[in-house]
Amino acid sequence: MSELIQNVIDSDEKQDLRQFASELRISEKRYLLRNDILQAFADYCLKFQKSDHFVHSSNLSKLIYYTQEIILENESICLIVRPQIATQERFRLRPDLSVDVMSVQELLDLRDHFVDHHHPHEGNIFAIDFGPFYDYSPQLRDSKNIGKGVRYLNRYLSSKLFQDSNQWLESLYQFLSLHSYNGLQLMINDRITNQNQLSHAIKKAISLLNKRSPKEPYENFRFELQEIGFEPGWGNTARRALETLEMLDELLDSPDHQVLEAFLARIPMIFRIVLVSIHGWFGQEGVLGRPDTGGQVVYILDQARSLEMELEEELKLSGLSVLGVQPKVMILTRLIPHSDGTRCHQRLEKVYGTKNAWILRVPFREFNPNVTQNWISRFEIWPYLETFSIDAETEILAEFQGRPDLIVGNYSDGNLVAFLLSKRLNVIQCNVAHALEKSKYVFSDLYWQNMEDKYHFSLQFTADLIAMNAANFIISSTYQEIIGTTDSVGQYESYKSYTMPGLYHVVNGIELFSPKFNVVPPGVNETIFFPYTRTEERISSDRQRLENLIFHLDDPSQVFGKLADPTKPPLFSVARLDRIKNITGLVECYGQHPELQEKANLIFIAGKLRVEDSSDYEEAEEIQKMYHLIEHYNLYDKVRWIGVRLSKTDTGEMYRVIADHHGVFVQPALFEAFGLTILEAMISGLPTFATQFGGPLEIIKDKINGFYINPTNYDETAAKLDEFLLRCQYNIGFWNEISQRGMDRVYSSYTWKIHTSRLLTLTRVYGFWKYISKEKRADMMRYLEALFYLIYKPRSQELLQQHLQR
C-alpha cells in the first residue's frame, strides 16, 4: 500500500481523513480532478481552522498534494495517487479506513460506471495493452532519464558489443555493408567478407592514412582504400577518414557508448527525408493566422532548411559531395484545390532559401468534392489519411527516384501517415506530437461520446496510440511533454491508461520507460528573428510600416481599437484565436485591472476581426467573446487588435518594434506544448511572461530570463506584470537586463543547428537498433495493424459517410 496513505492511517490524522471524506460527499461533485481536490482541502482547512503546519506539512496534506483524482462511490472513495512522475497508484478507501489496492482494469471499470451508471456496459470491453510488446527492448529504470533514450540505448548497445562480441560485431559488419546511394556502394565492399577481415583491413587502412598529409583530399587515396575494401563515406580528408577508422577500431576492441554514437553519427546513411504535415494550410505565404496553421508550419519549414544545410555539411565531411551526392528534403502535405489565394493548390513548391527542399502536395481523393476540394479541420481529416498515404507513396518514390531514409510525422494525422508509409517502405519513423489534444480537453476520453460530433477524439486518440507505439523514436520539445512535472501529468503519460467508455480500455497505452523518447527542442530562424539592437540588419521602411500598423493605422479591415496614448509601453501577444491560446483571457485580465491599463497598452495579433470571415467555429466564438470583453471593460482606446496575416519577415520585425518601445511579450495559453513564439520574442529582446502550464517551464528560468504566469489567475498575472512595469519605470536597466538574459538563453540552447544535428544522429542510432532487432518488432506491428483495421478504419468510414452527405 502507498506510504502516503499508510502514514495518514498510522497517525492521529486518520480522523481528519475520515472527516475530509465526509466533506467531499456534501459537495455536488463526484469526480474531482487535482485542482478540485486542492481547493476542497483548502476549504476543509479553512472551515475547521487548521494550522499552517497541518495545511502544508501534515501527512494528509502530502497525500492530497499527490492525489490526481478522487472518485466518490456509494460508500467508498477511490484515490488515484501519483507519488512521482510516470508512476500511478490506485486505492479504494472504505468507510472504516481500510484500503484496497485497485488494478488498472478495476479503475477503468469504475470510470465507465461513473459515466453511465444507469446503463453500465455488460460483458467485457476490448482492452488495449502494449506492455508485452516492449519486452524486446531495453528499459530505463530511473524516470529522470526519460527523454534521454539515445544515451541509454548507446550504453546498451556498447555493452552488448562487449558481452557477445562475435554476434554483435557480425551485426555491425553487416550493417556497414548495407549502405549505398543510387547504386554507389558506400563504406565497405566485397573484398571484406566478414568481421575478422574487417578488423585486419581497418589496421591496414590506418597505417596507410598515417603516412598521408592530414589535409590530403579523399580523391588522392580513394582507390588505395578501395583495394583494401573501403568505399567512399569515411571522410573527405586523410585526417577525417583516419579519425573515423580509428573510432571503428576502438569500437571493435573496447566498445564504449560515446564512441559508438560518435561513429554511427558519421555513417552516411541519410540522403532523403520526408517531413509529414497533413492538415491545415501548409505554405510559405498567406497561411499563418488561418485555422489549423501556426507554429507547426514555421517549425517544419525551418527544420527543412536546417536539415538540408546539416546534410550538405555531413556529406561534404564524409567525402561524398565531390561524387555528386546531394540531399533532398520533402515536406509532404495535402493539396487544397480551393486554395483561397494561397499556393496550397500547387503540387510542388520549392522551400525558400534551399537548394533541394520542396513542399509536395498530394490531394485527397474526391469522395465528395464539396468537402475534399476545400480546407478540412484537423478534427475532420481522418477518413482520407489511408488513401492519402497510398497516393503519397507513389509521389514520394517518383520524386526521390527511390525510398526515403527517414520519415518524420508531425501531429496526430501526420504521425499516422508516417506509420502507414514507413510500414510499407520499411523506413525509420520518427514522431513529433507538437500537441496531443487529449491533454488539452478535460475528460476528452471519459466523455468522448459527448464530444464526438465536434472533435472525433475516438479517431484521434486511436491514431495517437498506433503512431506513438509504431515509431522507432519520438522527439519531444520538452521533458514534461513526456511525463509532466511533479504536480501535472505529461502529454504522453496521459496515454498510459484511460478509458473511452463503450469503445475500449487502454490498460497500457505507451511505455514511458522505453528508450524511444528523446528531448530535442526546436530552434529559431536566426535570419528572421534576431535582437532589436542589430539595427544595421533591420529595414527602415519595414520598421516604419509596422510602427504605423501597430500604433496608428485607422483601417477597420485590419485593426480594431485606437490607442489614446501610444507612448505607453505595450503588452504584446500573438497567437491563433482559439480557447487554448487564451488571448481573450489576457484581454479579460487586462480589463479587470485598471492599474495595468494606466501603465501599458495591450496589443495583440490574433485571427480575424469579423465572425463571418472565419470558417472555424472555435475562432468564431472567440471573436464574439473578444468584442464583448472590449465593450464590457470599455477598452476601446487601450487595446489594439490586429487581424492581419503577417509574413515571417514582418513578424520578426514586429517583435523588434515592440522591443523598441520597451514592451513585453505575454503568452497566456491555458496549455502550451512548447512555445515557439516565446523563443521568437526572447531572441528579439522582449522580456517574456509565459504560461506555467507546459513547455515554457523548460525554456524560461523564472525571474532570471523571463517570468511564469498562471493564466487562470488574473489577479496574480496582473500583479506580476504590474510589478515589472513599475520597476522598469524607475530603472530601465532592469528591462535591459531581462532582455539580454532572454537572448542569451535562446542562443545557448535553442538553435536549429543543434536540433537537426541531434535528429540526424538519433536516426542513425535507431536505424542501427532497428536493423539488429528487426525480427522482434513483427508482433508489435501485427497488433498495430489490428487496431488500425478493426477500430480506426471502421470509425473513419462512418465519418466519411457523414462527409458524403454534405
Residue 222 shares a structural domain with residue 328:
no
Query: Where in the sequence is the domain holding 15, given as residue range(s)?
Result: 3-102
Residue 474 shares a structural domain with residue 519:
yes
Q: What is the DSSP letter of 675?
A: -
User: What is the sign, positive or negative, of the torsion defined by CA atoms of 148, 151, 154, 158?
Assistant: negative
| CATH code for the domain in which residue 43 is found | 3.10.450.330
358-373 confidence digits (pLDDT tens): 999 999 999 999 999 9
Judged against a pLDDT cut of 80, whether residue 159 lies above it is answered with yes
Residue 196 shares a structural domain with residue 244:
yes
Write down the pLDDT at residue 120.
57
Other Cβ atoms closer than 10 A to 175: 17
Q: Is residue 499 part of a domain?
A: yes
Judged against a pLDDT cut of 90, whether residue 157 lies above it is answered with no
Residue 728 shares a structural domain with residue 635:
yes
| CATH code for the domain in which residue 215 is found | 1.20.120.1230
Write down the pLDDT at residue 623.
94
Q: Is residue 678 part of a domain?
A: yes
Average pLDDT along the chain: 93
Residue 328 shares a structural domain with residue 254:
no
Residue 496 shares a structural domain with residue 449:
yes
Residue 219 shares a structural domain with residue 347:
no
Write down the pLDDT at residue 694.
81
Q: Is residue 673 part of a domain?
A: yes
**Number of domains comprising the chain:** 4
Least confident of 329-343, 505-519, 579-593, 611-625: 611-625
- Whole-angstrom distance, CA of residue 286 vs CA of residue 276: 20
Write down the pLDDT at residue 163.
78
Write down the pLDDT at residue 118.
53
528-543 confidence digits (pLDDT tens): 999 999 999 999 999 9
Return the bridge partners of 348, or none: 360
Grid coordinates belonging to 104: 488498472
Residue 621 shares a structural domain with residue 711:
yes
Q: Is residue 149 part of a domain?
A: no
303-346 confidence digits (pLDDT tens): 999 999 999 999 999 999 889 899 999 999 999 999 999 999 99
Contacts 24+ apart (CB under 8 A), 745-749: 745/682, 745/699, 745/700, 745/701, 745/705, 745/706, 746/524, 746/679, 746/682, 746/683, 747/683, 749/521
Write down the pLDDT at residue 121.
60
Residue pair 511/136 in contact by the 8 Å Cβ criterion: no
Residue 648 shares a structural domain with residue 723:
yes
Write down the pLDDT at residue 615.
78
| CATH code for the domain in which residue 544 is found | 3.40.50.2000
Residue 78 shares a structural domain with residue 171:
no
Q: How many residues does the chain have?
A: 806
Residue 619 shares a structural domain with residue 665:
yes
Residue 625 shares a structural domain with residue 742:
yes
